[in-house]
Amino acid sequence: MNSETNGRGRREQMLEAIRHAAISEFSEKGFAGATTQAIAQRAGMKKTQLHYYIQGKEELYEELLQRVLAAWAEIIRFDDALTEPQAVLSRYIRNKLHFSFTQPALSRIFTSEVLAGGHYLEKYWPQARENILRKEQLINQWIAQGALRPLDARLFIMHIWAITQYYADFAVQVKHMYHDTDAAPATQEHIIREVTELVLRGCLPTTAS
């Protein structure tokens, strides 16, 4: 059992610890404000040790950005096996919210990058545009079929994205809104239900059977 085979490699274990720490640091401070010093400290190592494992601050950041994009590419697409708008949209909302709940810091890195101007996302926009255009076409089909009320499909998609992303970016705000209050914090399932209900009622035709 050499150093390459115990666990999945000591090096990879260290890198995972580093990535975990970096996700927190980058999501809180942004790329410019994050320091390798702080990342090292969060990961429980010295700065020099960190620099032994990573190529540089920028490479680490880009790798993590790619992680969010890759995860979203998997999670966020409309499920082709489903045809009913209710089913497709419900699943989309559930998946996106689940990601915001389980990977809030990773989600926030994207937001932080967009706030900074999104220069590290140059290569990402075309693909994101394609994705939204495909969703738009499907939604417009639904509208033509009378399955959805007439609406601006592109804005509609962005609005769903906005609400679901909110629970990652503003988790601190949400928490404070339940602090020192009679009401117990909303559960994830409850939030999923409320968001889904709001969106579906907002887009279904008034003449729904």
Partner DNA sequence: GTCTATATGGGGATAGAC
Partner DNA sequence: GTCTATCCCCATATAGAC
Work out whether 134 is an interface residue with its own copies (CB under 8 A).
Answer: no
Least distance from C-beta 177 to its own copies, angstroms? 6
Least distance from C-beta 173 to its own copies, angstroms? 6
Q: How many chain residues are in contact with DNA, going by CB under 7 A?
A: 19
Concatenate the DSSP letters of all residues of 175-198 into one string.
HHHHTTSSSPPPPHHHHHHHHHHH
Q: Which two tokens stand for residue 104?
A: 């809030």
Instruction: Select the binding partner of residue 49 from DNA, its own copies, none (C-beta < 5 to 8 A, by kind).
Output: DNA
Q: Are 17 and 43 in contact (CB under 8 A)?
A: yes
Round to whole Å and give the CA distance between 99 and 114. 18
Judged by CB, which is closer to DNA: 3, or 206?
3
Least distance from C-beta 16 to its own copies, angstroms? 23
Work out whether 116 is an interface residue with DNA (CB under 7 A).
Answer: no
Q: What is the DSSP letter of 121?
A: G
Work out whether 57 is an interface residue with DNA (CB under 7 A).
Answer: yes
Least distance from C-beta 23 to DNA, angstroms? 15
Residues with Cβ < 8 Å from 187, sequence gap 6 or more? none
Work out whether 117 is an interface residue with its own copies (CB under 8 A).
Answer: yes
Residues 147-186 that bind its own copies (CB under 8 A): 149, 151-152, 154-156, 158-159, 161-163, 165-166, 169-170, 172-174, 176-181, 183, 186
Helix (H) or strand (E) holding 160: helix 153-169
118-140 burial string, b = 16+ CB within 10 Å, else e? eebeeebeeeeeebeeebbeebb
Round to whole Å and give the CA distance between 109 and 43. 18
Q: What is the DSSP letter of 42?
A: H
Can you give the binding site for its own copies, defined by CB under 8 A? 27-34, 108, 111-112, 114-118, 125-126, 128-129, 132-133, 149, 151-152, 154-156, 158-159, 161-163, 165-166, 169-170, 172-174, 176-181, 183, 186, 190-191, 194-195, 197-199, 201-203, 206
